[in-house]
Structure 1
Amino acid sequence: MSEHIVKSYEDELRLLRDMIARMGGMVESQLSQATNAMVRRDVALASRVVEADPQVDALDREIAHHVVRLLALRQPVASDLRLIVAAMRISSDLERVGDYAANVAKRSIVLAQMPPQVSVGPLERMSRMVQEMLKDTLDAFATDDDPKAMEVWRRDEAVDEMYSAVFRTLLTYMMEDPRNITPCTHLLFIAKNLERMGDHATNIAETIHFAVVGEDPVGARPKGDTSALASAQAGDATREA
């Protein structure tokens, strides 16, 4: 390749990284603001999160178009090909995280119309864990830091365990007082959204490992979600009562 073509190609790869960083920053902001809206019962802030979601979707489409152009015109191989494919996969995961953040905001709007009967402190802590995972995966992608990405990969289990604990607590509140059923149902959906965001951050970590190393992580993904068991036990307790 001529020096001009090489520089142009490098600029296009750099632009792809920049687009992923910009999208990641948007999604991080969405999640942070959605969490703050839930904690503060701030309907206006939650509404802004929902309204911002189409911008994330638009950037996802822009990245997809850029990826297709690179594949068609540059015919990349080896590490460049892995980077381009990884960017497309990461963009898809970030788009889903943005959707879940918007869902949290929508539930927060509904909860703000109800009396505050249940503490959202555990959900706030769970959200902060997921936000840290997202930040660290984006940092790992920016620097091709595979050890950092794999450290995030292992942290997914902690988010699952937190989700299981929140699930059990909310089920207990619902069984103790029927007035808690409606708000706790919304909080259960928020908790599940956060758990899924953690899964997508873990997906990104796996993608980074693939892009840097050239293979998928060895071994099964660590999991700590026992909510299904908790739900079954709650059903048994209800039938016995």
Structure 2
Amino acid sequence: MKLGTRKKLSEQLEDLKSKTMEMGALASTAVEKAVESLVKRNVRLAKKVIKEDDKIDDLEFEIENNCMHVIALQQPVAKDLRTIGTCLKIITDLERVGDRAVDIANITIEMAGRAPVKPLVDIPRMAELAVGMLRDSMRAFKEGNSSLAFELGKRDDEVDRLAHQVTRELFSYLVEDPKKISDAVRLMLVASFLERIADHATNIGERVIYMEKGERVRIN
């Protein structure tokens, strides 16, 4: 490969990574705002989360097209090709994270005007953990940090534990007041969505390890 072509490929890969990082930041913020809308029962904020999901979808489309363009014109190999493949996998996970944020925002709207079934303590904690995992998975991607990616598995276990705890507590509330079943189920769904977001973060971590080492591993 000629030096000029190699330089161009390097620049294109950096652009792909930069756009993917931008998408990761949007997805992380969407989850934070969606959970904030739920805790504060802020319908306006929930609607904003739903509207701004278009930005995440648009970036996914743009990055995917750019990846195909680089593959077609540059014919990358080895780690360069793994980097492009990792971008394609990551944007799929990030798009789904955005969708889960929209799901949480929709639940905020559905529950508007009603008192919460239970104090929302564990759900914000789950969100904090899941968003932290997501941001660290993207930092691992940016830095090529396999060690940071490996650490995500332990934190995923804590998110799973909290999700099960939320579900158990909500079932106990249902026994006391069956009238609240619909909102209790909605909060169970929120816990499930946050659990999935943490799973997407671990998926990204696994892709980072593959990008850096060429090894496929399971970290959760």
**Is the 2:107–2:186 Cα contact (8 Å) retained in structure 1?**
yes
How far apart are 1:71 and its partner, in Å? Answer: 1.1
- Counterpart position of 1:84: 84
Q: How does 1:62-81 map to 2 (within 5 A)?
A: 62-81=62-81
Is 1:105 aligned with 2:90?
no
**Is the 2:150–2:219 Cα contact (8 Å) retained in structure 1?**
no
Kindly report structure 1 stretches of 4+ aligned residues shifted beyond 6 Å. Answer: none
Provide the secondary structure at the position in 2 that maps to 1:119.
Answer: coil
Q: How does 1:191-206 map to 2 (within 5 A)?
A: 191-206=191-206
- Counterpart position of 1:231: none
How far apart are 1:182 and its partner, in Å? Answer: 1.6
User: d(CA) in 1 for partners of 2:180 and 2:119?
Assistant: 11
- Counterpart position of 1:154: 154
Is 1:213 aligned with 2:213?
yes
**Is the 2:9–2:74 Cα contact (8 Å) retained in structure 1?**
yes
Pair member with larger Rg = 1
- Counterpart position of 2:173: 173
How far apart are 1:6 and its partner, in Å? Answer: 2.2
User: Which letter does structure 2 place at the counterpart of 1:132?
Assistant: G
**Is the 2:152–2:219 Cα contact (8 Å) retained in structure 1?**
no
**Is the 1:153–1:206 Cα contact (8 Å) retained in structure 2?**
no
How far apart are 1:153 and its partner, in Å? Answer: 2.7
Provide the secondary structure at the position in 2 that maps to 1:117.
Answer: coil
Q: Tell me the TM-score normalised to structure 1 length.
A: 0.88
- Counterpart position of 2:23: 23
How far apart are 1:111 and its partner, in Å? Answer: 1.5
Is 1:135 aligned with 2:135?
yes
- Counterpart position of 2:12: 12
- Counterpart position of 1:44: 44
- Counterpart position of 1:126: 126
User: d(CA) in 2 for partners of 1:62 and 1:139?
Assistant: 21
- Counterpart position of 1:58: 58
- Counterpart position of 1:183: 183
User: d(CA) in 2 for partners of 1:95 and 1:25?
Assistant: 12
How far apart are 1:87 and its partner, in Å? Answer: 0.6
Q: Tell me the TM-score normalised to structure 2 length.
A: 0.96
- Cα distance per residue 1:189-232 (max 9 Å; x no partner): 11111111111111001111110110112xx553xxxxxxxxxx
How far apart are 1:174 and its partner, in Å? Answer: 1.1
How far apart are 1:154 and its partner, in Å? Answer: 3.0
User: Which letter does structure 2 place at the counterpart of 1:6?
Assistant: R
Structure 1 stretches lacking a partner, 5+ long: 223-241
How far apart are 1:2 and its partner, in Å? Answer: 3.6
Structure 2 stretches lacking a partner, 5+ long: none
C-alpha RMSD of matched pairs (Å):
1.2
